Structure 1
């Protein structure tokens, strides 16, 4: 495994967290391959179009403030063309606009990813599966995925 691949994968993770937390759907969707698969909360999304629609739906049901934090990035099956990555994520969430009083951990989850090195030189998510570990059922999500 090269340090460059690890840094590139870490950058994709950081960009995903930033864009989802700041509502930049176009940049968020650009992190996926055209035929990406996304599995979260019992829902399977196939292709960029379905993924984009789900992300856009986050803002249709009222205010939702989130912050995603990840750690434990682990890479396996590393080749110059593809890599599998696992990481642990914490999602703080509130069904209210920022600033939110108090802190709520909505979800702790394992993210199981496959990234592909694309022709334009960028690494993109080809598969993402979110596996809940802990979930605060008192904070109903406005949408899926986290």
Structure 2
């Protein structure tokens, strides 16, 4: 069954809010787009709740600057009222706040499951990030206990 226009727009907005939350280091806004028990997998890291996901981003240096964008959002109805999503994301990143010539850090496929809460607001319940192209020299500096 196809996803309706209003749901598609809400999930596109949800993904934009995720990107802006990461890029602006707005952890409250990031919490608002994730379920409390989100399953999040990215480049050797796996988390099973929103607090752990947010802590992983908070551990990065304050000088780290990113900009995320996405395209090719494909949505399908999933089990038990969920929506399954696939999209292509790109990330520009620098660990130096003064950098001006910033190459592409990563292009990745995102495999998502979205669920709606009691108020009908969509949240990310699962996000699995599969890198397609990645420039490891632009990865965040290592954090103890966290792989790059």
TM-score (ref. length: structure 1): 0.89
1:13 offset after TM fit, Å? 0.6
Q: Please report how far the alpha carbon of residue 85 of structure 1 lies from its aligned counterpart in structure 2 after TM superposition.
A: 0.7
Residue 81 of structure 1 and its aligned partner are, at CA, apart by 2.7
Correspondences of 1:1-146 after superposition (within 5 Å) = 1-58=3-60, 61-78=61-78, 81-97=81-97, 100-142=99-141
Separation of aligned partners in 2, 1:108 and 1:96: 20
Moved more, 74-83 or 29-38: 74-83
Q: Higher helix fraction: Structure 1 or Structure 2?
A: 2
* TM-score, L = length of structure 2: 0.88
**Cα gap change, 1:71 to 1:117, in 2 (>3 Å):** same
**Hey, what's the Cα distance between the residues in 2 that align with 1:78 and 1:39?**
19
C-alpha distance in 1 between matches for 2:121 and 2:81: 11
Aligned residues: 143
Q: Work out the CA distance in 1 between the residues paired with 2:112 and 2:80.
A: 16
Mapped partners of 2:101, 2:24: distance in 1: 19
The offset of 1:139, in angstroms, is: 2.1
Cα distance change on mapping 1:9 and 1:29 into 2, 3 Å: same
- Counterpart CA distance in 1 for 2:79 and 2:130 is 25
What is the CA distance between 1:82 and its match in structure 2?
1.2
Q: Deviation above 3 Å: which 4+ runs of structure 1?
A: 143-146
Note closer, same or farther for the CA distance 1:6–1:78 as it changes in structure 2 (3 Å cut): farther
Report SS of the residue matched to 2:138. Answer: coil
C-alpha distance 70-145 of structure 1, shift in aligned 2 (>3 A): farther
